[in-house]
Amino acid sequence: MLGTDLLTYQMNPDLTSSIFTGQSILNEDLNEKEIELIKSYLSDINNIKINTNSISSNFPTNPKLWNSSIFNKFFQLIDEAIKNGNLNYDNLIVLKESKSKINSIINPQGRFKEIESHMSLGLIKSSLFLYDDIQFATPDLLSIMTPLCLNKPSINIFNTKD
């Protein structure tokens, strides 16, 4: 038992079976594929010259310097270039599509990833569990937890609402 992980849960009526199923979290960092995609869209935009200047000339090349403020300023420059109307049709399409694609990559709705719950990871690693105030757990949650306390522990979460 020495060295075994101990997971503690404070039971309450708001706790659902989602403690077994994991969750989606916001992924803060861009992965390599996303960075390469953004760089390719920046390269496309960089080929468009307005008054001999590139729209992306002031955009940092180092992804570690990228933040929402940088992207917002960049999107404003694109919007201004589109509004000024000094672009041919092909360049206008490139700007609009590149802005849309970059925005979809950095947008929080696209930045979620699934992670395993601590409960399921604890089950896999044979951790010990301490359920405080178990009398406050919902019947649905208790029906999932009860088989875990038997001689041959098992779990079935496929029939839950969460």
The answer to whether residue 54 sits within a structural domain is yes
* pLDDT tens per residue across span 38-71: 999 998 988 887 765 677 777 888 998 898 889 9
Q: Quick one: pLDDT band at residue 2, thresholds 50, 70, 90?
A: low
User: What is the span of the domain harbouring residue 64?
Assistant: 32-112
Task: Give yes or no: residues 83 and 136 share one domain.
Answer: no
For the segment 14-37, the average pLDDT, to the nearest whole number, is 80
Q: Is the dihedral of CA 32, 36, 38, 42 positive or negative?
A: positive
* pLDDT tens per residue across span 81-132: 888 877 889 989 999 999 999 999 988 777 777 777 777 788 788 788 788 8
Task: Give yes or no: residues 41 and 106 share one domain.
Answer: yes
The answer to whether residue 78 sits within a structural domain is yes
Instruction: Identify the three-state secondary structure at position 133.
Output: coil
Task: Report the number of distinct structural domains present in the chain.
Answer: 2
The answer to whether residue 134 sits within a structural domain is yes
What is the rounded distance in angstroms from the CA atom of residue 127 to the CA atom of residue 92? 57
The answer to whether residue 92 sits within a structural domain is yes
The reported pTM is 0.57
Tokens of 109: 């709705």
